[in-house]
Structure 1
Amino acid sequence: MKNYLLGGIAALALSVGAVAYANQPAFSPKSDTYEMLELFGDVLALVKQNYVVEVDDKKLIESALQGMLSSLDPHSNYLSAEDYTDLQEKTRGAYGGIGLEVQSEDGAVKVVTPMDDTPAMKAGIQSGDYITAINGQSILGLRLNDAVSQMKGDPKTDLTLTIVREGKDEPFDVTLTREIINVKSVKTRMEGNYGYLRISNFNENTARESLEGLTELRAKNPQMKGLILDLRNNPGGLLDQSVGVADLFLEGGEVVSQRGRRPDDITRYQAHKGDIMKGQPIVILTNPGTASAAEIVAGALQDHKRASTVGLTTFGKGSVQSVVNLGENRAVKLTIARYYTPSGRSIQKTGIVPDLEVAQSKEQAKVIANRNYSFSEADYKNALDADEGKVRQGAHIVSEVPPEAYDVKTGDFQLARAVDVLNYGGDVKQAAAHPRGLKLAEADLVDKPGSRFADKTKAGASSSAAPKAPEKPVQKPAEKK
């Protein structure tokens, strides 16, 4: 039996003996559990004998397993042979598709984020978009993995997605050409006098690629005075790789701890001596798409006061999943622990609040001010409780937005403010005291009654290929395609 640890929305990392389901005691014939299992058998037999058409026993049982596990929390589920093969394929980092992270929400497919340099990103698909049809056929109510399968395919083949987007009155179609998606998670470049490290996800090569990329960047640019670490729209990934990346910038101490159900079930991950940036200032860019393993890195560097954070509050996924191979290429993904930052913070539901809150655009600030639609762990109906009753910040006025003259289509305002922080030696307070953007009044941001996103996406707003988008967000784990 092979176990894996999940440190992100849709990726795996090796674990050691996290779950030992085979050693659990048998149920007593007199127990309530045994009686309920008998009831399950009775219902299965009833369906098999009397349903209007012949049924597939295997599919019925797999659906029951999926329902049982998904009722626990949004990140626990059963992986059939097809699903597990798909997960392993994505972990290897190359497949035919369009390059999206998606999740299910009220029967629709919602985009978590487009992946860097993929057909989806080049076509302008955005986080928060709803995909309501593929090639003109509605996918509302379709199982997420079935929708994912339709989007995957041979390279150089086309597909058309129908998109519903916040702020647009009508659904619209986007035609994309599939490519081989090679998931390279690390990019580096210079941003003036500062290095720029972009990590789009945490796969099995991320820590090594980050070390190699920064080493080469510093060698070519000995005048480098600091670093911008861009973790925006990073959905997470391998737990050990996030620890490895944080370790690059720390001189020691705890990176993250993992705590299970029992008081003594604690695993601590420590950094080693050696800061690749030699103490130079670091700024981390975050937004609501920054999740799980990416939050581990941001939380560790923030707690150790090794980096400042600029952007928006992160997603808030503070749980760890173990993926256990059950044999015959089937598996169970089960939440086994919460993780905590070095100071003992659980960011479950709440996320990591940036030191300098900056929206990328006025439109983004309006979403946060109006809560037209939510996009965080706290929006899952059955998410694990936040630690000690903490509550995620609700609708509010973002501290800073771009000035009116700023071209948000060609510029990156959050990045510009990160550079400002580095220009002040990493001092966020000084950068905040000298804003480059605006703090808008509530009247500038709050929508008028009747302008909510859900009201603009009622059935019939466009073609029959674009049915109504969901009004109440109920998110489930993301998948890549």
Structure 2
Amino acid sequence: MRTTLKIGAAVLGTALLAGPVGYAVADSKSSETYKQLNLFGDVFEQIRSEYVEPVEDAKLIEAAINGMLSSLDPHSSYMNEKLYKDMQVQTRGEFGGLGIEVGIENGVVKVISPIDDTPASRAGVKSGDYITHLNGEQIVGIGLNEAVEKMRGKPGTDVKITIRRPDVTDPIEINLKREQIRVQSVKYRVEGETIGYIRISSFNEQTQPGLEKAIAEIKQKTAGKLLGYVLDLRNNPGGLLTQAISVSDTFLDKGEIVSTRGRHSEDVERVNAKPGDLANGLPVIVLINGGSASASEIVAGALQDHHRAILMGTQSFGKGSVQTIMELKNHGAMRLTTARYFTPSGKSIQAKGITPDIEVKAAKVEEVASLGSGRREADLKGALSNPDTLKTDGKPTTPAAPPAGGPGEPGVGAAPAEISSAKPAKPSGANVNAPPEVDYQLSRALDLLRGVAMFNTRAVN
């Protein structure tokens, strides 16, 4: 039996009860917990009464909650009511703001990835950029949620951002105009009349319907000449776990897609594919790189482990943790890391990433453009360790998984924010988030797919 001491919705301590001795342990732990809460109360009262200026109680409490969650790992955070509503809107694929995915690195807002075909992407904001000022006001050290709040605003209003780029000496200032961002997470086209190219830029509620539409229209346009698909997940920062599972299931006919393992050995869930492969068994090449994170790594790992696709590109980001959004009644919600996920073969990619079957680096012009974007999950302060790493006694740190469970609902992904500009510019190789005019990695994927299709045809004959 496990008892949990709770105040409101916050879990403060746990103890295993086993007879009189167990109760003594529980009482001892509870007593220590209350001592720590008294310490918090003392500090809170001293700030209220002695700080040089009056501070609102709600502001102090929110800052304390933020600090508590952000100290756990880079992906746990608190969302007040407004941020929570904004997050709900974003997962539906439409939101007001500016157009990028961001995180915090050493107190600085870092661009994880611009969202395809948003003003930020067209203006040349890059993965790896650091945002230091908004309208001349420094935002270093203010916290991710506050920075997101400052970047958001009414569509049509202007904002000036100052960024630092690792390969550029001087700061870069960009004048932007906030817009209503409608994220089209799936884009597609036919390459050379025989290959379907599908780009998934993020995983929101519109992703699976968009993928099904893409496959149907590609089949129609190729009129029976379709050789296979290239699934482009480069610089895809993640999103909803349910959508990652659904996308994987689209190309799989059977087998496990992903498993999640939480704090306790019984907290394990497995998700299996349903019968039916919309691609009809045609070859699939998946493109990944260092900006492919979280939900996109689930898809890549599932298709790789089942030998359903060939992965090409460079090592992925390595975010193998699951965040659950827990609503706090009348007080927003918290994003809490509750589990690690594992690929069908049982591997965790946390702080390691997915290794492509065929490594293909970007062409030289693209490498120059993406300098500074090489950091991965393992480089983030407070990142979770990989549970596959052995302890000194030679035993794995993660318990063996019990029998299969059902699908889970937690969201996976980086904290969202948005950036936009007023006018589009012609995309080029300088924009690493969108396929450049000369895309070396894509060219190699197309060549490989044609070769695989030719080999399969000869094998059949």
TM-score per shorter chain, which class?
0.7 to 0.9
- CA deviation after TM superposition for structure 1 residue 373, in Å: 6.9
Give deviations 1:178-221, integer Å, cap 9, x for gaps: 22101121111111121011111111121122112211211221
**Equivalent-residue separation in structure 1 for 2:143 and 2:13 (angstroms):** 32
Equivalent AA in structure 1 for residue 321 of structure 2: S
Query: Within the alignment, does 1:317 sit opposite 2:319 as a pair?
Result: yes
State which of 393, 414, 419 in structure 1 corresponds to 2:446.
Answer: 419
Residue 106 of structure 2: aligned partner: 106
Q: Structure 1 residues 126 and 307 mapped into 2: Cα distance closer, same or farther (>3 Å)?
A: same
Q: Structure 1 residues 21 and 54 mapped into 2: Cα distance closer, same or farther (>3 Å)?
A: closer
- CA deviation after TM superposition for structure 1 residue 239, in Å: 0.8
Give deviations 1:138-165, integer Å, cap 9, x for gaps: 3223332333233222323332222222
Query: Within the alignment, does 1:229 sit opposite 2:256 as a pair?
Result: no
**Equivalent-residue separation in structure 2 for 1:162 and 1:23 (angstroms):** 40
Q: Structure 1 residues 296 and 409 mapped into 2: Cα distance closer, same or farther (>3 Å)?
A: closer
Residue 47 of structure 2: aligned partner: 47
The answer to whether the 8 Å contact 1:85/1:329 transfers is: no
Residue 132 of structure 1: aligned partner: 132
**Equivalent-residue separation in structure 2 for 1:414 and 1:132 (angstroms):** 32
The answer to whether the 8 Å contact 2:363/2:439 transfers is: no
How many residue pairs match? The answer is 391
Residue 221 of structure 2: aligned partner: 220
- CA deviation after TM superposition for structure 1 residue 308, in Å: 0.7
Aligned-pair identity (%): 49
Residue 15 of structure 1: aligned partner: none
Tell which deviates more after alignment, 60-69 or 336-345: 60-69
Gaps in structure 2 of 5+ consecutive residues: 1-8, 16-25, 391-428, 430-434, 456-461
Give deviations 1:402-428, integer Å, cap 9, x for gaps: 9xxxxx963111111111211220799
Query: Within the alignment, does 1:266 sit opposite 2:268 as a pair?
Result: yes
Q: Structure 1 residues 372 and 79 mapped into 2: Cα distance closer, same or farther (>3 Å)?
A: closer
Residue 437 of structure 1: aligned partner: none
Cα RMSD after superposing both structures: 2.6
**Equivalent-residue separation in structure 1 for 2:301 and 2:63 (angstroms):** 37
**Equivalent-residue separation in structure 2 for 1:292 and 1:150 (angstroms):** 26
TM-score (norm 2): 0.79
**Equivalent-residue separation in structure 2 for 1:305 and 1:158 (angstroms):** 48
The answer to whether the 8 Å contact 1:103/1:111 transfers is: yes
- CA deviation after TM superposition for structure 1 residue 259, in Å: 1.0
**Equivalent-residue separation in structure 1 for 2:283 and 2:361 (angstroms):** 22
Give deviations 1:233-266, integer Å, cap 9, x for gaps: 1111111111111111111000001111222221
- CA deviation after TM superposition for structure 1 residue 166, in Å: 2.7
Equivalent AA in structure 1 for residue 254 of structure 2: G
Residue 158 of structure 1: aligned partner: 158
Gaps in structure 1 of 5+ consecutive residues: 1-19, 391-401, 403-407, 429-481
**Equivalent-residue separation in structure 1 for 2:340 and 2:446 (angstroms):** 33
The answer to whether the 8 Å contact 1:367/1:373 transfers is: no
**Equivalent-residue separation in structure 1 for 2:31 and 2:369 (angstroms):** 50
Give deviations 1:308-363, integer Å, cap 9, x for gaps: 11111111111111111110042122111111101111000000011121222336
1:72-471 paired onto structure 2 within 5 Å: 72-192=72-192, 193-221=194-222, 222-362=224-364, 374-389=374-389, 410-425=437-452
- CA deviation after TM superposition for structure 1 residue 90, in Å: 1.8
- CA deviation after TM superposition for structure 1 residue 129, in Å: 1.0
TM-score (norm 1): 0.76
Q: Structure 1 residues 324 and 191 mapped into 2: Cα distance closer, same or farther (>3 Å)?
A: same
SS of equivalent to 1:248? helix
SS of equivalent to 1:327? coil
